[in-house]
Structure 1
Amino acid sequence: MRSAPATPTGFTPRKYETPEAMEAAFRTALVRIQAGDLPNLKLPTYHQAPPAPTGRPKLQVA
Protein backbone atom coordinates (compact mmCIF):
# COMPACT_ATOMS: atom_id res chain seq x y z
CA MET A 1 0.00 0.00 0.00
CA ARG A 2 1.37 3.42 -0.97
CA SER A 3 1.05 6.09 1.69
CA ALA A 4 -0.35 9.52 0.94
CA PRO A 5 1.65 12.67 1.63
CA ALA A 6 1.29 14.19 5.07
CA THR A 7 -0.88 17.26 5.52
CA PRO A 8 0.44 20.47 7.15
CA THR A 9 -0.71 19.13 10.53
CA GLY A 10 1.35 15.97 10.04
CA PHE A 11 -1.70 13.74 9.62
CA THR A 12 -1.28 11.14 6.89
CA PRO A 13 -4.61 10.07 5.38
CA ARG A 14 -4.98 6.35 4.71
CA LYS A 15 -6.89 4.15 2.36
CA TYR A 16 -7.74 0.82 3.88
CA GLU A 17 -7.29 -2.49 2.11
CA THR A 18 -10.61 -3.88 3.32
CA PRO A 19 -13.67 -2.70 5.25
CA GLU A 20 -12.50 -4.98 8.08
CA ALA A 21 -9.13 -3.20 8.22
CA MET A 22 -10.91 0.16 8.43
CA GLU A 23 -13.17 -1.09 11.23
CA ALA A 24 -10.15 -2.44 13.12
CA ALA A 25 -8.45 0.95 12.83
CA PHE A 26 -11.56 2.69 14.19
CA ARG A 27 -11.76 0.25 17.09
CA THR A 28 -8.07 0.82 17.87
CA ALA A 29 -8.57 4.60 17.75
CA LEU A 30 -11.58 4.32 20.09
CA VAL A 31 -9.54 2.32 22.61
CA ARG A 32 -6.72 4.89 22.39
CA ILE A 33 -9.16 7.77 22.91
CA GLN A 34 -10.62 6.02 25.96
CA ALA A 35 -7.11 5.41 27.31
CA GLY A 36 -6.19 9.08 26.81
CA ASP A 37 -3.57 8.44 24.10
CA LEU A 38 -5.58 10.30 21.45
CA PRO A 39 -7.61 13.48 21.98
CA ASN A 40 -11.37 13.22 21.75
CA LEU A 41 -12.60 15.77 19.23
CA LYS A 42 -15.38 17.93 20.61
CA LEU A 43 -17.41 18.36 17.44
CA PRO A 44 -20.57 20.49 17.35
CA THR A 45 -23.92 18.75 17.37
CA TYR A 46 -25.79 19.26 14.15
CA HIS A 47 -29.54 19.77 14.29
CA GLN A 48 -32.08 19.40 11.54
CA ALA A 49 -32.67 22.63 9.64
CA PRO A 50 -36.03 24.28 10.32
CA PRO A 51 -38.68 23.94 7.65
CA ALA A 52 -38.61 26.59 4.97
CA PRO A 53 -41.21 29.32 5.36
CA THR A 54 -44.02 29.36 2.85
CA GLY A 55 -44.01 31.96 0.12
CA ARG A 56 -41.11 33.72 -1.52
CA PRO A 57 -37.95 34.26 0.53
CA LYS A 58 -36.93 37.85 1.29
CA LEU A 59 -33.42 37.94 -0.12
CA GLN A 60 -31.11 40.77 0.82
CA VAL A 61 -27.75 41.86 -0.55
CA ALA A 62 -25.06 41.73 2.10
Structure 2
Amino acid sequence: MQLGLCTSFEALADAAQAGFDFAELPVSALAIDQSAADFEAVRRRILAAAIPLAIL
Protein backbone atom coordinates (compact mmCIF):
# COMPACT_ATOMS: atom_id res chain seq x y z
CA MET A 1 0.00 0.00 0.00
CA GLN A 2 1.19 3.52 -0.78
CA LEU A 3 0.43 6.55 1.30
CA GLY A 4 -0.18 9.97 -0.24
CA LEU A 5 -1.70 13.33 0.54
CA CYS A 6 -3.18 16.36 -1.16
CA THR A 7 -1.01 19.39 -0.53
CA SER A 8 0.47 22.54 -2.03
CA PHE A 9 3.69 23.03 -4.01
CA GLU A 10 5.25 24.63 -0.96
CA ALA A 11 4.72 21.51 1.18
CA LEU A 12 6.01 18.88 -1.28
CA ALA A 13 9.49 18.65 0.27
CA ASP A 14 7.94 18.29 3.73
CA ALA A 15 5.69 15.50 2.44
CA ALA A 16 8.67 13.65 1.00
CA GLN A 17 10.63 14.10 4.22
CA ALA A 18 7.66 12.80 6.24
CA GLY A 19 7.75 9.57 4.24
CA PHE A 20 4.73 9.91 1.97
CA ASP A 21 4.96 7.89 -1.26
CA PHE A 22 3.21 10.44 -3.46
CA ALA A 23 1.32 13.71 -3.37
CA GLU A 24 -1.55 15.27 -5.24
CA LEU A 25 -2.06 18.96 -5.92
CA PRO A 26 -5.39 20.77 -5.94
CA VAL A 27 -6.67 21.43 -9.46
CA SER A 28 -6.30 25.17 -8.85
CA ALA A 29 -2.51 24.67 -8.62
CA LEU A 30 -2.33 23.36 -12.19
CA ALA A 31 -2.94 26.76 -13.85
CA ILE A 32 -5.22 25.15 -16.44
CA ASP A 33 -7.06 28.43 -16.88
CA GLN A 34 -3.84 30.42 -17.41
CA SER A 35 -1.63 31.03 -20.41
CA ALA A 36 0.52 28.31 -21.97
CA ALA A 37 3.61 29.94 -20.46
CA ASP A 38 2.08 29.85 -16.98
CA PHE A 39 1.15 26.19 -17.42
CA GLU A 40 4.68 25.41 -18.63
CA ALA A 41 6.09 26.90 -15.43
CA VAL A 42 3.76 24.69 -13.39
CA ARG A 43 4.73 21.65 -15.47
CA ARG A 44 8.41 22.29 -14.75
CA ARG A 45 7.71 22.52 -11.02
CA ILE A 46 5.80 19.23 -11.16
CA LEU A 47 8.64 17.45 -12.95
CA ALA A 48 11.18 18.78 -10.44
CA ALA A 49 9.13 17.92 -7.35
CA ALA A 50 10.83 16.13 -4.45
CA ILE A 51 8.05 13.52 -4.41
CA PRO A 52 6.10 11.81 -7.22
CA LEU A 53 2.83 13.53 -8.05
CA ALA A 54 -0.19 11.39 -8.88
CA ILE A 55 -1.55 13.92 -11.37
CA LEU A 56 1.00 13.34 -14.13
TM-score (norm 1): 0.34
Higher strand proportion (structure 1 or 2)? 2
- RCO comparison, higher one (Cα < 8 Å, 6+): 2
